[in-house]
Chain A
């Protein structure tokens, strides 16, 4: 998995590439939690994410709760069909803000 971060004022974009699974999810969690202080909008750009497992879903859920708790926004952007399918079947699409 590869993580690329770009920040503009109080908006942070994290591009996640490859596979987000048990092995890689802790890296995304660590990388994002240390960067979201003071951030009003966090975008997870998933256009190059090929696979997501439960471990990845849990990191996204944690980020969603953290951001909501601070009155900030989490946006999940450009997920591929395979990843979108996982969001839909687990019901995560019901509460996540997803930009196609």
Chain B
């Protein structure tokens, strides 16, 4: 290694503490975007180039650099987002926070012709502005530049595999492999756009379902986790639970009712209207069932699962599906347990005392 390269290496060693500070500030800023703006990212990471790596760089192209200040990736950070449109949101934050060296920053996504595909990433070369950090003991924190790479998950996958081939640029890659890599880049670009499209249409769907459920028109709404959540948010089984709670002046503990979706599906309900009609039809029976459960018991607390569970039980018994289906419902809600057999029997007996069970009995 020549004297010039040795001088750059000395400067690197003397400024390691400075680079640590830069790395810390950059990481703090990038993580704050994730936290404050709810960005969905796969990873935020930063590293300081090792002395070995810097030596290698200087040996290969040391003439290119007058001083350490000319090397812009001693500190490098990378943000990998799930969706490619998040890259632009992140980019806006980077541009607002750091002093961007526009001459050396590059948007590789825009450098291809319409018929070219390849490495897609956004590279910013930046400095820490004095408004963000100023310390007379560490003036070089504002002097040295650093690099921030922003890319999507799929762009990252492609870049990582390309890097793994050991080639540094397209000129080195044998034509046949380069063609295959670029074909894949095109495919992943398409997939990236499709993922954004799917996410956007899902967001639209959830918004639409919430509005429809709020309006009370359930006729055309498919029963799925989004419509079920919206139904619960709009009071779902609250009235029934409140009525049950009056039996012993009980307190209601709110828990997740997510498990009930699979139960309702297994009972054959396909739309929210079917679920709502079922609730209205069996409301009084479920209440009567609860009276028989709780009367005379020293219980003044229930969870909000009580209402929907008792609705399911009275529906099953009233439609002669038998004790075995009661047990299956308990299996779905509580998980498969030995005690579900006894509990199913006990619940069926309550149903019998109400005159709900008419048909042939099945063994659980």
Contacts and interface: CB of A to CB of B under 8 A. Distances in A.
Given A98-B337, A100-B338, A90 B343 contact: no
B259 to A, nearest CB: 7
A84 B343 contact: yes
A50 interface: no
Contacts of A98: 334, 337
Nearest to B241: A91
Contacts of A53: 298-299
Interface residues of A, number: 20
Nearest to A99: B337
A89 B293 contact: yes
A72 interface: no
B299 to A, nearest CB: 5
B301 A90 contact: yes
B346 A91 contact: no
Which of A54, A85, A89 is the most central at the interface, judged by chain B CB atoms within 10 Å of its CB? A89
Interface string A2-32: 0000000000000000000100000000000
Nearest to B253: A61
A100 B309 CA distance: 21
A94 B298 contact: no
Interface residues of B, number: 26
Interface string A48-59: 000001100110
A94 B342 contact: no
Contacts of B299: 53-54, 57, 86, 89-90
Contact of A91 (B298, B303, B343): B303
A89 B334 CA distance: 12
B343 A88 contact: yes
Nearest to A51: B298
Contacts of B304: 91
Interface in A68-100: 81, 84-86, 88-95, 98, 100
Contact of B255 (A54, A86, A94, A100): A94
B294 A89 contact: yes
Given A90-B306, A93-B334, A54 B301 contact: yes
A91 B255 contact: yes
Contacts of B302: 89-91
Given A21-B298, A54-B300, A85-B346, A91 B337 contact: no
B240 to A, nearest CB: 12
A21 B333 CA distance: 27
A2 to B, nearest CB: 21
B351 to A, nearest CB: 14
Which of B256, B301, B309, B333 is the most central at the interface, judged by chain A CB atoms within 10 Å of its CB? B301
A54 B298 contact: yes
A69 to B, nearest CB: 15
Interface string B333-352: 11001110011001000000
Contacts of A86: 297, 299
Contacts of B255: 91, 94-95
A32 to B, nearest CB: 18
A21 B302 CA distance: 16
B286 to A, nearest CB: 13
A53 B299 CA distance: 6
A90 B333 CA distance: 13
A57 to B, nearest CB: 5
A98 B333 CA distance: 13
Contacts of B339: 81, 84, 88, 100
A53 B297 CA distance: 9
A88 B253 contact: no
A93 B332 CA distance: 12
Contact of B301 (A58, A88, A93, A95): A58
Interface of B: 253, 255-256, 259, 293-294, 297-306, 309, 330, 333-334, 337-339, 342-343, 346
The 7 closest A-B pairs by CB, nearest first: A91-B303, A91-B305, A94-B305, A53-B298, A54-B300, A91-B306, A90-B302
Given A61-B253, A91-B253, A94-B259, 7 more contacts: A57-B301, A61-B301, A90-B301, A90-B303, A91-B303, A91-B306, A91-B309
Interface of A: 21, 53-54, 57-58, 61, 81, 84-86, 88-95, 98, 100
